[in-house]
């Protein structure tokens, strides 16, 4: 059995989609959902599916041995960032070499880096009148949105799109592709 930890900072619709996708899988298991926000809705989503969830403060996230303790306790093999907004400490990246991935709601390297997350990204894409946006799934290193790209796909941005309608288009792409990319990587 391959155990996944999902890290999420907020609502957690991607986390839920991944959880649903792997329900009943014979060889891939969502072992734990970990968040850095005490009131993140992703915690309710995890509990609803009977998945263990853990809250860690930002200080705990920055403490590699604390963080690794949680991963080891849940026998985590892969770490999936799904709307997670903190950097992962170097020691953890080394311990899980090429087994930590992130999804970004734009076509990296455009619209990446610190502060570029969620609606900030969609607002910037609309403000620049880009014709396309999309999603990027990549390995995680010590720099925001910088690791090797695994998968990208795009969608059209139309003149009537708002940050909200674009966010919805991007979420649909994420729901469709993220679980499959995770599955393909692990298998
Ligand atoms: C997703 O669109 C994800 O790509 C983005 O946050 C959203 C979380 O939505 N992640 C980033 O911006 C990371 N830089 P969700 O909580 O509903 O899954």
- Three-state DSSP at 24 gives coil
Which atom of ligand 1 is least distant from the CA of 14? 18
* Domains identified in the chain and CATH numbers: 2-97 (3.40.50.170)
Residue 184, CA distances (Å) to 21, 76, 108, 163 in order: 13, 18, 21, 31
| 19-38 pLDDT tens trace | 999 999 999 999 999 999 99
CA of 66 to the centre of ligand 1 (A): 25
Question: Which residue ranges in the chain fall short of pLDDT 70?
Answer: none
Check residue 50 and give its pLDDT. Answer: 97
104 is catalytic: yes
Residues 6+ apart with CB under 8 A from 4: 18, 22, 28, 29, 30, 31, 76, 77, 78, 79, 80, 182, 186
Q: Identify which of 17, 81, 82 to mutate to test ligand 1's pocket (most ligand atoms within 8 A of the CB).
A: 82
CA of 97 to the centre of ligand 1 (A): 23
**Ligand 1 pocket, residue 106 CB under 6 Å:** no
Check residue 179 and give its pLDDT. Answer: 98
Output the residue whose Cα is nearest ligand 1's atom 7: 83
**Ligand 1 pocket, residue 30 CB under 6 Å:** no
Residue of 104, 122, 132, 138 marked active site:
104
Dihedral sign, Cα of residue 13, residue 74, residue 54, residue 91: negative
């Amino acid at each position: 059995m391959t155990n996944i930890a999902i890290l999420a900072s907020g609502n957690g619709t991607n986390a839920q989609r991944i959880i649903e996708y792997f329900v009943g899988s014979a060889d891939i298991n969502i072992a734990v959902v970990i968040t850095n926000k005490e009131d993140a809705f992703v915690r309710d989503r995890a509990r609803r599916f009977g998945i263990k969830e853990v809250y860690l403060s930002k200080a705990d996230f920055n403490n590699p041995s604390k963080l690794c303790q949680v991963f080891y306790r849940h026998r985590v093999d892969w770490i999936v960032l799904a709307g997670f907004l903190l950097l992962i400490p170097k020691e953890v990246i080394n311990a899980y070499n090429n087994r930590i991935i992130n999804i970004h709601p734009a076509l990296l390297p455009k619209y990446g880096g610190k502060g570029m997350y969620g609606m900030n990204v969609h607002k910037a894409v609309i403000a620049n009148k880009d014709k396309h946006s999309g999603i990027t799934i990549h390995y995680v290193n010590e720099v925001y949105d910088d690791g090797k790209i695994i998968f990208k796909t795009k969608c059209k941005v139309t003149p009537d799109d708002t940050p909200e309608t674009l966010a919805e288009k991007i979420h649909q792409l994420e729901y469709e592709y993220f679980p499959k990319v995770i599955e393909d990587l692990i298998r």
